Structure 1
Amino acid sequence: MKITKEALAGTIESSDLMVKVAPAEGELDIVIRSEVYKQFGEQIRSVVNETLQKMQVTQGHIVIEDKGALDCVIRARLQSAVLRAVENVSISWEALQ
């Protein structure tokens, strides 16, 4: 999927996260800011990378402001932001599980 416009998903309330997605040429740039990064940073990054890989996102600027969200919330917010940022997408729902 190619990110063609900016999009947001989520909130900055406790146990949630805000995902900001924007187009970028070249490579995938992921910025993660989290209150629990020292404890769960590797797991957060793993969930983000796995979700983007399943969605076949290879370019873009992704900023995540985490407030202690669970893996399922991270996945859902990231999927929502990416789907809002692409045009004319045919969704493979099986791949998003």
Structure 2
Amino acid sequence: MEIKTRAVAGTSESSDITIILEPSDSNEININLTSSAEKQFGRQIRKVINNTLMELGITRANVTAIDFGALDCVIKARVQTAAYRAAESKEYKW
């Protein structure tokens, strides 16, 4: 899957995360994370984002993640939603 445009998923509500996905000129996934719990859970949040993108076949993207205490399942769902929107895809492989 290729990221074609900027896309956003999620809210700023408690227990949620906002994911902003954008095309990247580099051949890697760049994650910019903002979270009040970054010291405790930053590595895990980045891992979930990275693994979800890799599962979707995305190897290059700029990701901005603003975490408000989201669980892993919520992070994965928001990343998937943003990815499908950014790829302008109508076929979902859940």
What's the TM-score, normalizing by structure 2? 0.90
The farther-off stretch of 27-36 and 81-90 is 81-90
Share of identical aligned residues, percent?
Answer: 45
Moved over 4 A (4+): none
- Residue in 2 aligned with 1:35? 36
Question: Does residue 7 in structure 1 map to residue 36 in structure 2?
Answer: no
Q: Assess if the C-alpha contact under 8 Å between 2:29 and 2:50 holds in 1.
A: no
Give the gaps of 5 or more residues in structure 2: none
The 3 A distance-change label for structure 1 pair 11 and 52 is: same
| Alpha-carbon separation, structure 2, partners of 1:40 and 1:4 | 30
Give the gaps of 5 or more residues in structure 1: none
The number of residues matched between the two structures is: 93
- Residue in 1 aligned with 2:25? 25
RMSD (Å), alpha carbons: 1.3
1:6-36 per-residue CA deviation (whole Å, 9 max, x = no partner) reads 1000001111010001111122211111111
Matches within 5 A, 1:8-87: 8-26=8-26, 27-87=28-88
What's the TM-score, normalizing by structure 1? 0.88
Give the AA of the match of 1:34.
S
1:32-86 per-residue CA deviation (whole Å, 9 max, x = no partner) reads 1111111111111111111111011111111000010000000000100000000
Give the AA of the match of 1:57.
I
